[in-house]
Structure 1
């Protein structure tokens, strides 16, 4: 989900590709945004991707 978001994919496309509902994708992105202190979904993505890569 983070990679698709980082690539600029719209929410509907992310949902279709991951076989999730649009509401589920929006919820996951809002949780990621809130936990990383972002104000929109574009800012927390690079930070989250860096953390994921470090695992």
Structure 2
């Protein structure tokens, strides 16, 4: 999950560097906001999976 969050970051940076924000109906804020939302979800999910695995190994 952490790897997917990193790849989502790479995708967002690539989209910004390719000039996707210049397309009609797309802005820099939208690209960062949408990708940031998904990056946050992946990081939270990875953290929860990591915590659950640690708790399971302790018991």
Q: TM-score, normalised by structure 2?
A: 0.39
Larger radius of gyration: 2
Q: TM-score, normalised by structure 1?
A: 0.41
